[in-house]
Amino acid sequence: MDKSFNGRKVILTAGPTYEPIDPVRFIGNHSTGKMGFALAECFARHGAEVHLVAGPTNLKAQDPAIEVTHVTTADEMYEAVRRLAPAADIWVFAAAVADYKPKAASAKKIKKAGDELTIELVKNVDIAAALGKEKRTDQFSVGFALETDNETVNAREKLQKKNLDMIVLNSLNDPGAGFKHDTNKITIIEQEATTAFELKSKTEVAQDIVNLIWERVHA
């Protein structure tokens, strides 16, 4: 097959993370995990050994070459990724990790009382940034950025800050792109190149991303 990833190990993060407030409530987001799962399937089709670390999602991996580790919180996702990353050649951070978590989850259900409730939040670990500090020169990493304004500048900043080789920019301003849709319009930003793509299905978008990664890691 052309564009083969035979013998390459890929790890991906996908989906949201849920950060517990108490035993019945959490802070989460609308990520479905579709983009990460589509990428995992695409890498597997091209011969890669794929490990997907997935936050809460209804999706199931179809290809038997995909191993899935299910996690709930950002801390659990980080634990799993840290364990798997050293052995992987390619890292793809497609998860919508919650930026903050409740400082302390209540052991008991919080009862309704008073007109206001304040929950103190603390910053979660930045998985991509933490791994970026450990990245070897033989490893390739890809992140995602969902922006509403100052898109290119913000995405470029994330590319540097997280030591990524490539960042896939999704614009929420494009109708049909982003959460809940089956289509996406992306721009791939690298240190010295910017590539814009048309609005496509997430499966086709995954193929575009995988093609470009192949070109970079096989160059």
Interface contacts to ligand CTP, rule CB under 6 A? 13, 74, 93, 95, 97, 99, 124, 126-128, 143-146, 158, 162
214 binds, among ligand CTP, Ca ion, none (CB under 5 to 8 A by kind): none
User: Least CB distance from residue 218 to Ca ion, whole Å?
Assistant: 31
Q: Check residue 167 and report its DSSP letter.
A: E
Nearest residue (CB) to ligand CTP, 110 versus 125: 125
Distance between CA atoms of 122 and 17, rounded to whole angstroms? 15
Q: Which range in 21-29, 46-54, 97-105, 193-201 contacts Ca ion by CB under 5 A?
A: 97-105
Q: Kindly tell me which of 44 and 97 has the beta carbon lying closer to Ca ion.
A: 97
Q: Does 99 bind Ca ion (CB under 5 A)?
A: yes
Give whichever of 143 and 178 is closer to ligand CTP, judged by the CB atom: 143
Neighbours of 37 (CB within 10 A): 26
Active site residue 29: yes
Which residue number, 97 or 206, has a Cβ lying nearer to ligand CTP? 97
Give the residue carrying structure tokens 């049909």.
176
CB closer to ligand CTP out of 140 and 144? 144
Write the single-letter amino acid at 174: D
Q: Which residues lie closer than 8 Å to 68 by C-beta, 6 or more apart?
A: 51, 52, 53, 54, 61
Using CA atoms, how far apart are residues 57 and 15, in angstroms rounded to an integer? 6
* Alpha carbon distance 183, 70 (integer Å): 25
- Residue 144 CA to residue 159 CA, distance in Å, equals 9
Question: Which does residue 206 bind out of ligand CTP, Ca ion, none, counting CB within 5 to 8 angstroms by kind?
Answer: none
Q: What whole-number distance in Å separates Cα of residue 176 and Cα of residue 158?
A: 24
Interacting partner of 95 out of ligand CTP, Ca ion, none (Cβ under 5 to 8 A depending on kind): ligand CTP
Catalytic-labelled residue, pool 29, 154, 163, 211: 29
Q: Name the 3-class secondary structure at 35.
A: helix
Q: Which does 71 bind (CB under 5 to 8 A by kind): Ca ion, ligand CTP, none?
A: none
**List of residues 6+ apart from 64 with CB closer than 8 A:** none
Measured from the CB of residue 157, what is the shortest distance to ligand CTP in angstroms?
A: 9
* Residues near Ca ion (CB under 5 A), total: 1
List active site positions.
29
